[in-house]
Every structure is written in C-alpha cells, then in structure tokens.
Structure 1
Amino acid sequence: MSSDNGRRRGGDSGQSGEHGEQLALIRESVRKAKEPKARPRTWRGAKLAGELPVARVLVDKGPVHLDRLWDYAVPAELDAQAQPGVRVRVRFGAGTRQVRGGRREGGGLLDGYVVERVAESQYQGPLAALAQVVSPEPVLGPALLRLCRAVADRYAGSLADVLQLAVPPRHARIEAEPSPELLPPPAAPAPGSWSRYPAGPAYLDAVVRGDTPRAVWTALPGPHWAAELARAAVAALASGRGALLVVPDGRTAARVDAELTALLGAGRHVLLTAGLGPEERYRRWLAVNRGAVRAVVGTRAAMFAPVRDLGLVALWDDGDSSHSDPSAPQPHAREVLELRAAQEKAAFLLGAFGRTVEAAQLVETGWALPLAADRAVVRAAAPRIRTVGEHDEARDAAARAARLPTVAWEAAREGLRHGPVLVQVPRRGYVPRLACERCREPARCAHCAGPLEARGQDGGLHCGWCGRESGPWHCPECGGFRLRAQVVGARRTAEELGRAFPGVPVRTSGRDHVLDTVPDRPALVVSTPGAEPVAEGLGYAAALLLDGWALLNRPDLRAGEEALRRWLGAAALVRGQEAGGTVVVVADPALRPVQALVRWDPAGHAARELADRAELGFPPVSRMASVTGPPEAVAEFLAMAELPDGAEVLGPVPVPAALPGRPRRPGDAPPGERWERALLRVRPGQGAALAAALKTTQAVRLARREGEPVRLRVDPPDIG
C-alpha cells in the first residue's frame, strides 16, 4: 500500500497534519515488515529474475506422497525460458521445500515441469534454484494440467504418473523443425450415412453450430461407421474447433484415418498410434500442441492429446479392454474423455455396435442421449441370426464328429458359394466359472453376490470376492443343486474345417498374425475375437460363432456383455439380411446375450444388465476399488484407511500367481509369492471420497516406508 493511502487512512481515523503522516508511515512500515519477502534467497546466492522469481514445479517423481508442487528460485539467466509448461531439471533434496512446508526429500537432479510463476514463496527458508530449462517448448498447458490432475484424483494416483501417459518423451531435433500452418476450417459436411439415424443430421448440425451435444451412438452393422465418425470430426472442424477420436487399435485407427483423409485431404489431421515410432509420434503430437493441427485420430494414449479449442471427443467401442491403460493409475479412455468433455465444454460421442453398462448409465442419468436407428432400418442392415443350442449340438452326429453343427455346416456351405465365410473361435485360456447344470445361471455368493469357485482338493465352494465358504448350494432360478464347469477345446478348428470343406482355402487371424483384410472370394477365415479381418466388397457371406459357452462362462461380471460385444463385432462384418447374410451362433438360445443378438438389441441388453447390477450393488451403479499385495500389507492398509461411511470390504481372497512361461497380467501375483486382494465397495456419489482415502493412506505408508507396497485399482474392469 502506498504512503498516500496511508495518509488518507490517517485522516479518516481523526488524525491530521504532521502527526497523522508519521503515524501512517509507521503503520505502513509495520505492514511491510510482516509480509513475506518478495524475492527468496538462494543457497548459492544466484541473481534472481526481476519479476515472478519463484517457480512452482511439478517434479516428475511418481510416488503419491510426493504428489505436490515444490518452490524453486528462478535465476535471472533462465527468466525468459522458464515459463509455465516447460520442462526443467531441478535439484531435489537439500534446500527444496514443499509449497506448504514439509521435510526434505532425496537428492539429485530430476525432471519436472514449471506449473506457474509467482512473486513469493510461502516457505521463508533458502530455495534451490532451477538447474536447467530442458526446452523452452511449453508442453504442459493449463487444460492438460487440469485434466491430468482430475484423472489422478479420480484414480487415486499421482499427477506425475498421469503426465508420463499424457506427455511423450522429448526429441530435441523435432522441436527445431517448423510446424505446418493451420489451414482454414472446412465446409460443414453433408449428413451422408448419418441420415440413416433420425437424430444423426441434427447431431452434426449442433456440432457445426458450436454446441456441445452428448450422445451414446449404437452404430448400424456394416462398414459405414468409420465414415460417420470422420464426418462428426469434420463437423467440429467446420465450427472452428478441434476434434479428438479415440479407437481401440491401430487397424481401426487406420480405417478412420483413411476416411478423414478422403473427406479433408492431407494436412488437416494426424494419426497417433504406437506403431509410428517415438520421433514421428512426438512430431505429430507437437504439431497438435502448437495448434497447427486441430484433429487427432489415435489409440488409447491419444486421449490426452492437447487439441486446441476442443469441440468434439469421440470414443469407438468403449467395451474393448485396450481402452484401459495398464500403467498406473490405469485410467480408462471413456472416463478421461468424459472429463475432457465437461472441462473443455466439448461435444461427446460414444459409439459402438454394442452398448456397455457404463454407456447405458450415461443414458439413464441423462448425461447423454441415445443415438440409434429405427428398428426397420436395423433389421434391414443386420444379417439373419440363427442359433444352435448345446442340446441340439449334442444330438447332432456331424457336430460330434467335426465340432460343427449341421445348421452351421449348411450355412457355411451356402455362404462359400457367394463369398468368404468368417468363423469366430474363442481364445484358449478362458477360465470357466461355475453355473447351474440345468439352467446355466451363474453360481453366486449369498453374502455379496460374488462368483463361487471350487478350491482345494475337496472342491469346496468359496466366494471369489469376499472369500467366504459357501454352504450347500442351490440355484435360485430353477432350484437345481448340481454345478458344472466347462473347458475350451478349440485348438484344431482350422484343421477340422479344412477336412470338412476340402479344396476351400482356410486362413487364420489371431494374436500372432492378424489380417487386416481378406479378398472377396470364397474362403474360410478362422479368427479369434477382436482379430476379425474386414472382407472386401460387400462383406462376409456368412459367419459361424462357435463355442459360445466359452465366452459366456468366463469368471467375469462382464461375461454376457463381452460375449454380445464380440458377437456383434463379428456379425457387423457380414452382409445384411437383404443381401443374404447369415450368422449362426452356437450357444443356448434362451440366454439373454443370445436373445439380444437375435433381436440385434444391444441397448435393451445393456439396460437390463444395468438394472440387475443396481439391484445387486454392482458397478457402475456402485463404485469399487481393489487393494492387492502381500497379506500383511493388505491388512495393514485396510486398518489404516479412513474409508467413507458405509464402505464395504469384501475379502481379502487369494490372487493367482503368474503361470510359468506366460506373460504376467496386471492382476497376477509375482511368481512364488502369495498375494491377496480385497475389494472396497461404496454407494453412488462416494467414489471421490473413496479415491481420496486410498490415495491418502498410500501416501502415508510410502512416506513412513513401513511394510510392503500394495497396488490400488479404482474401478477395476475385471472383478470376477
């Protein structure tokens, strides 16, 4: 406050003349003495920046107990370069303090990001100076920082871990290259095949106007979905804003990339996939960050792409497991894009042939509106669906001989007269769950509704969630008391089909070798779920979905939803019913997913699944988290955690160890170690409180360095 203000205040209090002026000066000097020093001292005595000499730095160090900002002094020689968002190197140790105080941590030079520049530090001791500005390129903008902080809080992780997913490694040579010039917005796109949906043209018009419509899109079967996704992106560009499209894998990204290139030409969008290589990926990411390119198509990591003036975020096939990042804190692309749509006021489009329960919840809560075609249009576009039950298969001599029911064999023979035939075979390694032998209803725990498992030599039943031993079991649906488990035996499918159809080429597509396309001529294409190639021309003449029970009998809450998603994905590649396309599914026709496939009604199936989960308290109606680690560490963590009121602890239960010679999955215990997992369940609306409690407990345990670490997973996709 200036001395003039002091004089006015002195006059207001009844003082006048020289005495009032002296009193005002004394008050001003006392006030300034109480304020923090504007410029911090450094332990090296370096000359500081003239303005805003304190940089608040996010140190790139993963543990959650270090998830905070740290104050550093800005030397004068780094003043121009040390701007918010740039990469820096700092000495982390002696002379370093937390923004709000704290003890000394570690030592040595670490990477970090300048978050902001301020005039003062709340810590009054000596501050370490920035050691180096790695690059003057601002790679951490305010919108990206806000998004990463929200993701870290939602998943009980550290901001540094999220930034490792969001910001690619630096390549200095790429930063020296000039970026392309931003092209003017394109013209608004024509509706095209979006006109098949009653609300499709209106959705595009709203995006072109700059509005923020949110929709859950049930795509019609056939090849048009990629072009429709591209048109939605063009609508966002036409509004002068950016677009971000996230898809499950590189093959799908290439299809959308080709459609966007056909609509826009070259230079208006970039493709971000892992197959590009680190340098090319950074070159394209940098063009997006600089605002030279406003449209991005990419796989999971592209969900953090820093698109300027974001107008549309779109996700294709959110039920695909590829959208869940395996790296801590393991965010899901759907949740990240929901946060971006809300924070950056962008339109939202969640599309797939099927519908997950999470998508159904978005519709039920009104957060998004459904976008689907009329039933008459669906029936014309979808192939004819035929079913073969297990009992029919058992009575079929042809099925017993070649594992191919007569109905499926006839459909394949007829289809081969007109084009290629797709044969979907479940992957090996699915672990069966227990179900009623009579009606196939899954066996669940009477306490928490978790799946029952047979353990030990006596085969006693235990819950896979809470670990409680189950007494005598009976089916609540039909009253049966006998359980069954099934195993997958599809190892020689291709060889068996080759013998059943001599002279017909047999091609395979799977984990080791995935085909992108197959020619439009007669052939048998045997594929595992998710690896189905696209048939050129009109599509497949027929499809056989074998061993449906192997998909339905997985020990997973999502078994029915996942089976339907896999079937719809394969059936969508088949010609429509008007063109003679036929799909044969070998599964019990009375089961809900099979009936949903026959009717081609993924929305109805998802709505019924959501209602069932609400009744049983399953996600996404409730929120869950898992705590996994050595038994002593899990017990200690649960004892320390201050969980929200009403939180329910299920378990802990043993965690299977990784099998020798096979890749270790995220949920497996290390070989030779005994691990346990506990599930925490809270009511709707308590998810944020649960994540905060878990993060706090994890930070305290790491800071004390007591006990073995545990793994946290908020909203685990597979809870058994």
Structure 2
Amino acid sequence: MSSGDEQEERGGKGAPPEQLALIRESVREAKKPRAKPRTWRGAALAPELPVGRVLVDRGALHLDRYFDYAIPEELDAEAQPGVRVRVRFGAGKGQVHKGRREGGGLVGGFLVERRAESDYQGPLAALAQVVSPERVLSPELLGLARAVADRYAGSLADVLQLAVPPRNAQAEKKASPEPLPPPGVPGAGSWERYARGPGFVAALGAGESPRAVWTALPGPEWAAELALAVTAALASGRGALVVLPDGRAVARLDAALQAVLGEGRHAVLTADAGPAKRYREWLAVHRGSVRAVIGTRAAMFAPVRDLGLVALWEDGDGSHSEQHAPQPHAREVLLLRAAHAQCGFLLGSWSCTVEAAQLVSTGWAQPLTAERAEVRRAAPLIRTVGDAELARDEAARAARLPSLAWQAAREGLRHGPVLVQVPRRGYVPKLACERCRTPARCRHCAGALQACEDGTLHCAWCGKPEPRWHCQECGAFRLRAQIVGARRTAEELGRAFPAVPVRTSGREHVLDTVPDSPALVVSTPGAEPVAEGGYAAALLLDGWALLGRPDLRAGEEALRRWIGAAALVRGQEAGGTVVVVAEPGLRPVQALVRWDPVGHAVRELGERAELGFPPVSRMAAVSGAPQAVSSFLREAELPTDAELLGPVPLPVTDPARPRRTGAPPPGEQWERALIRVPPGSGAALAAALKTAQAGRLARSGGSGAEPVRIRVDPPDIG
C-alpha cells in the first residue's frame, strides 16, 4: 500500500465525512505526477513568475516598448522589478525574438515587471545579468517618466537617462543614514510681507497641498522664504523638492536650509557634482533617508518619498529647459508631479512668466504677492533714458553712457558698488516700427518678420513674403533694427571712472558675490553677482539689444533680466536707483518702472490668446533636410485642428562657431516647420509626431532615414 493509501486508511477510520473528503482530496493531489520545471537551454527558470518585462536602454522611438525575457532560476532572488539588468539585444546569430536576435550584444535596461506568462508565443531569450539588486526604478518614477515621454513625443528610455543617474558601485555599498524625525512647524518669518504668505506656510505645515504663483519682493530674502516653505512641508511628515536655475542659486538656498534645518535633512543634486557624490545623494533620497531635495534641473526627477511640495525658482530662466532628448522643461515636469502626487506647488520669481499668469488665470494656482506699499518700500527707484534724450546727450554719443546714468553711477559709488548690465554679444534684434517700436509681424500667422539679403521681408514662421508692410499702430512704413556690442564697456567705464575698481562677470568668469565697497561691476544678463548689503545703483544699458531679439518672448525676457538685476539693488528708502536705457513708452519698460511684472504677463497672455500663441496654443517644431521634413509631414497623421506654418529655411551653421543643440550640421541647409494646435489637442499632436517618427525609424532599421528633429513646445519660435 502506498503512503497515500495508508494515510487514507488511518484517517478514514472514525473520521467525520467532511474530514474524510479533505483527506481523499489531498491523497489524489499527492498521487498526481509532478510537472517538470521549465527550462531554457537546459537551465532551470524561476519557479514563479519566470517572465520579466524589460525596458531596454535604447532611446529610438520604434523601440519604445517592453521586451519579454526568461528569468533563470539563479537570478530569481535578485531579479525584482526596478533593478538594472543586462540583456542580449540587437543583430546577431541566433533565434529572432520580437524582431531582435538572441545573439546580439549585451545592453543595459530596467526590469519593469515579473509575469507568469508572455504574450509572445515563441521562445524567449534569457536575462543575462542583474547589474545590482538596488531597485532604483520605482513605480512612481516609472509613471512620471512615461507621462513626460508622452508629453514631449519622446522615448521612455531617454527620459529615464535623465531621471536615474549612472550607477556607482561604491555608493551602493554604503548604507544610507537613518531618516531624522520631522522638524517643528516654522513661523511665517518674512512671509509676513505677503498677504497670503503666512497662510501658505501654515497650510503646508498642516499637511495640505496649496498651489501658488509667488512674485517675490526684491532682495535676498527669497532663499530664506523658500527654506521656510520646505521646512513646513517636512514638518507635516512629507517630502519637498526645489529646482533652481543654476549652482549659485542652489548654494544660496543650501545655506538658508542649513540655517533653518541643520545638517542631514536635505540633499543637493546638481549636474556638476561628481558621479559618486551625485549617486550617493540620489540613493539617500531614493531609500527615504532624506526627504528634501534641492538642485538644478537634474533634480526635477528626484525620487522624493511622500511629496508634500514641489517648487521652482525663476521658471523663465532658459537653463530649466533640458537640452537632451526629449528636452523637457522643469516647470512642466513639476506640474506633472504636483498633479500625480496631489502635493503642494510653488512657482516663484522676482518676475512673472506668461505660463505662470496662465496658471493663475485658470484657477489652478493662487497668486502670492505683496501689497503695493510693500513693493514700493522694497523696490529701487527706476529712471529711464529714451531715444530722444540719447540724441541730445553729448555724453551718450561719446561713451555710450547717458548723463543720467553717469550721475547715478557717480552718486552710487559714494555709498557702495554699482552694477552695470550689458547684453551679451550675439543678440540679434527683431524688426520693429521705427516710430513707435511695435514689433513687425506677419499678417497671416502673426510670426516675426525678417529681412532677406535683398531687403525684402518674409515671415520667420510661415515663410510668406510681406512686400507692403506698414505699422498697424501708427501707420509708419519704416523699420528699425539695431545690433549693439558690449565688449568695450568695461574699458570705457574704467576710463570714465579712473579711480574706481572695475570687476566683470560673464560667460567666461561668473562672480558669486562682491564686497560692499565702491566698485563698478559689469555683468551680462543672468551673471550678476550679489553685493553684500545690495548695490547702491544699477545701470541697464542698451535696452534695445534685449527688446529687439527675434523671439516671441523678447519683451518678457527683457523685463525678467532687468528685474533680476534691479532686485539686487537697495530699496528706494535706502537710496537705491536703477537707470534703464530704453524707450520709456514700451510696455516692458513701463512694467519695470511700476514694478508690475504680473500686469505685464497678464497683458501678454491676453494678446497671445488672441493671436493663437503659446502657451494658450501648443506648438511643435519639426526640422531637418527639406526632403526629410516634407516626407515626414506627409506621413504624420496630424490632428484635424492642426495648423502648419512653413516650412522656412534655417540659417546655415558656421563650422567655425560652436554648434548649438538641435542646430543643423555645419554647412547643411535645413528647414523648420511649426505645427500649432488649440488647447486640448496637445496630447494628440505629440502622439501623432511620435508615431510618425517611430514609423520612419522602423522602416529604415533605425539608421538609414534622414534625421528629422522634433521638439514639442520649443522655447524659441522667433
């Protein structure tokens, strides 16, 4: 008698009927022949969930999907969702699996999921290696990366290259510190200067999720105010993430957080940190040891647990726009995170972008501003010098320094340093009416007009000629363009003030701070150092070089640059004065005089809504060789409400000059087409562009097609 029969015989004597039935069932199961373990080329596979879905580290759009691999038994314990793996992928000898051959080279990837079965009916290639048991790809990070890829018509692998830093084995071996207990709820501090400031901080501390667009008062207090907002989020038991435009801003907020929170409560993630340090800090955040993160745009994907606040400082700064595919903007990524995590959101700046004004106008965020009396106390006195004054000014004709600016500099040097802002070389102004300075725009699409070598005008967006232009505001027929250099400004000022030291801050050498002593500090926009105690005065020279750029954002950007410099000057009550050399009647100049960046952004938003400009509409740029662009546009199944502008020729890149990201190869003639869709069709546009690009690459095998570059929401559509 078998062991099963013996068990039934012993258990059946005197047993209740229900127990007897259970015993008989267990005996039948024991007598069933056991299934042989599944194998791959003789090797046993994982007994449970033997199929792994892998995202291969290949950014091509036609490969933007998951691939199934068999999981060997020896890798069963380590092959968990979220780990880095290596798999065979690409051309080679062997069985073809889903369009690839088993004998290809080893490539990296992420194990996304374990499954019992595969949708693929053929034999599966095996997982080659688990690189590390660290589960670096969480479901939350994967979902965010997919949302960003879909929004920008990019691949998931490209986004994850931005989101997950390269592995450092030594950093993984070190244990992260234990998380510290939450701090206490902070007081409002200098947030008292804003009408809704104390309420915003209190709401964060209470675990709520307020959303605000913050127009910061001039001065250095912004870093301390951001630190209080981060502290309030931590006090509620949640995490916080702040993205800043550059390392200098990160250093200021880092110091403010050290003063409020002390050591060990926040991590700093910047692209210029070494790979070991950056990965070590990232792991501390990923493991939950640190709940607050600050950094440049490299930090926008930081895996902060239980997000309570995402914040962005100076969203109009161009450094927030990623240069690697699919070129996401930090503001949009943080908006996605705030929506997915249902957390607080803070968009702060001394100025105000049109996108920020749109968030307020739709009711998605609330304005966080100071009363006008508080603004007047904190802001410096603004004075203007227009064309009429310059024409009559002997000093301006001799040294590019109007008499009013000369007097302001001389008076300011008695009390401290004086800032002189000059445009960078390379600013090329757009065309505008010579009489009233209204920008010259196309009658068909409202794009910026450009002058050809033969003097004729054409649109930079749709390419249509404009033979009979006249100003819609004043009726004039003459246009103006002006290119101003700034190379000799420091030398000219040195001759004008021979006894005063002159310091420069620009692309080659950027100063962080300057002492509170008389000096002339010549800086390009965005490179202005902070003066201890604030500048006594500032001179904003050559305003037309900023206002005249061939860019939809020229006025907004000029105002942002001016306010960024003027915010470093002492308040009017302390004698701070700013002189701007620009036509007083222009809207950005008036907004600066009144210190009203929000009003300027609201008016810009209204005009863009009438003309169909971003951000009210969504746009995408398609560029490449003429034949490639034409073929792509024919194949793409664009939304029915899409409007095609162009294509128009792009300037030929000079081989002797550094090549910008996305620029044509040197010497090649490329074209660019703009595609515009109304609100609500942005997702459909991105999906159509991504599908068309994936189809082109699949038909060519990924390498034979002429390159066509796609950029959703391009920052420059001038």
TM class by smaller structure: over 0.9
Deviation string 1:14-42 (CA, Å, 9 cap, x unpaired) is xxxxxxxxxxxxxxxxxxxxxxxx99966
Deviation string 1:470-501 (CA, Å, 9 cap, x unpaired) is 12110000000011111112221011111111
Matched, 1:621 2:616: yes
Paired AA for residue 351 in structure 1: G
Q: Does the CA-based 8 Å contact 1:315-1:334 persist in structure 2?
A: yes
38-47 or 417-426, which moves further after superposition?
38-47
In the TM superposition, residue 211 of structure 1 has moved relative to its aligned partner by: 1.0
2:525 to 520, 529, 537: 529
> Aligned residue for 2:656?
661
Question: Which SS does the other structure have where 2:573 is aligned?
Answer: helix
Q: Does the CA-based 8 Å contact 2:194-2:368 persist in structure 1?
A: yes
2:505 to 487, 502, 509: 509
1:49 to 46, 51, 56: 46
> Aligned residue for 1:488?
484
Q: Does the CA-based 8 Å contact 1:89-1:110 persist in structure 2?
A: yes
Distance 1:348 1:73 in 2: 43
Deviation string 1:371-404 (CA, Å, 9 cap, x unpaired) is 0000110011000000000221121001111110
Q: Does the CA-based 8 Å contact 2:462-2:648 persist in structure 1?
A: yes
Paired AA for residue 121 in structure 2: Q
In the TM superposition, residue 672 of structure 1 has moved relative to its aligned partner by: 1.4
Q: Does the CA-based 8 Å contact 1:191-1:200 persist in structure 2?
A: yes
> Aligned residue for 2:3?
none
Q: Does the CA-based 8 Å contact 1:39-1:119 persist in structure 2?
A: no
> Aligned residue for 2:288?
291
Distance 1:489 1:302 in 2: 36
Distance 2:383 2:498 in 1: 25
Q: Does the CA-based 8 Å contact 1:412-1:542 persist in structure 2?
A: yes
Distance 2:236 2:246 in 1: 28
> Aligned residue for 1:478?
474
The structure-2 alpha-carbon separation of the partners of 1:213 and 1:95, relative to structure 1 and needing over 3 Å to count, comes to farther
> Aligned residue for 1:21?
none
Distance 1:553 1:92 in 2: 51
Paired AA for residue 572 in structure 1: A
Scaled by the length of structure 2, what TM-score is found? Answer: 0.93
> Aligned residue for 1:464?
460
**1:299-378 to 2 correspondences below 5 Å:** 299-378=296-375
Q: Give structure 2 stretches of 5+ with no counterpart.
A: 1-34
Paired AA for residue 385 in structure 1: I
- Count residues in correspondence: 679
Scaled by the length of structure 1, what TM-score is found? Answer: 0.93
1:678 to 645, 658, 673: 673
> Aligned residue for 2:261?
264
Question: Which SS does the other structure have where 2:128 is aligned?
Answer: strand
> Aligned residue for 2:514?
518
Distance 2:270 2:344 in 1: 23
Deviation string 1:497-554 (CA, Å, 9 cap, x unpaired) is 1111120010000000000000000000000000000001x20000000000100000
Question: Which SS does the other structure have where 2:180 is aligned?
Answer: coil
1:581 to 558, 576, 581: 576
In the TM superposition, residue 118 of structure 1 has moved relative to its aligned partner by: 1.2
In the TM superposition, residue 466 of structure 1 has moved relative to its aligned partner by: 0.6
Paired AA for residue 533 in structure 1: P
Q: Does the CA-based 8 Å contact 1:42-1:73 persist in structure 2?
A: no
In the TM superposition, residue 43 of structure 1 has moved relative to its aligned partner by: 4.9
Q: Does the CA-based 8 Å contact 1:314-1:349 persist in structure 2?
A: yes
The structure-2 alpha-carbon separation of the partners of 1:106 and 1:511, relative to structure 1 and needing over 3 Å to count, comes to farther
In the TM superposition, residue 284 of structure 1 has moved relative to its aligned partner by: 0.5
The structure-2 alpha-carbon separation of the partners of 1:39 and 1:532, relative to structure 1 and needing over 3 Å to count, comes to farther
Q: Does the CA-based 8 Å contact 1:40-1:124 persist in structure 2?
A: no
Distance 2:238 2:522 in 1: 43
Distance 1:108 1:41 in 2: 25
In the TM superposition, residue 659 of structure 1 has moved relative to its aligned partner by: 2.4
Question: Which SS does the other structure have where 2:254 is aligned?
Answer: helix
Q: Does the CA-based 8 Å contact 1:628-1:712 persist in structure 2?
A: yes
Distance 1:265 1:310 in 2: 21
Q: Does the CA-based 8 Å contact 2:37-2:44 persist in structure 1?
A: no
Q: Give structure 1 stretches of 5+ with no counterpart.
A: 1-37
> Aligned residue for 2:592?
597
Q: Does the CA-based 8 Å contact 2:246-2:296 persist in structure 1?
A: yes
Question: Which SS does the other structure have where 1:681 is aligned?
Answer: strand
Distance 2:710 2:338 in 1: 26
Deviation string 1:132-158 (CA, Å, 9 cap, x unpaired) is 000000110011000000000000000
In the TM superposition, residue 674 of structure 1 has moved relative to its aligned partner by: 1.0
Q: Does the CA-based 8 Å contact 2:315-2:331 persist in structure 1?
A: yes
Matched, 1:405 2:381: no
Q: Does the CA-based 8 Å contact 2:439-2:448 persist in structure 1?
A: yes
2:717 to 694, 712, 719: 719
The structure-2 alpha-carbon separation of the partners of 1:420 and 1:383, relative to structure 1 and needing over 3 Å to count, comes to same
Distance 1:541 1:44 in 2: 78
**1:31-46 to 2 correspondences below 5 Å:** 43-46=40-43
Q: Does the CA-based 8 Å contact 2:654-2:667 persist in structure 1?
A: no
In the TM superposition, residue 227 of structure 1 has moved relative to its aligned partner by: 0.4
In the TM superposition, residue 183 of structure 1 has moved relative to its aligned partner by: 0.3
> Aligned residue for 2:25?
none
Distance 2:641 2:218 in 1: 44
In the TM superposition, residue 190 of structure 1 has moved relative to its aligned partner by: 1.0
Q: Does the CA-based 8 Å contact 2:149-2:326 persist in structure 1?
A: yes
Distance 2:448 2:259 in 1: 49
In the TM superposition, residue 96 of structure 1 has moved relative to its aligned partner by: 6.3
Paired AA for residue 605 in structure 2: L
> Aligned residue for 1:236?
233
> Aligned residue for 1:248?
245
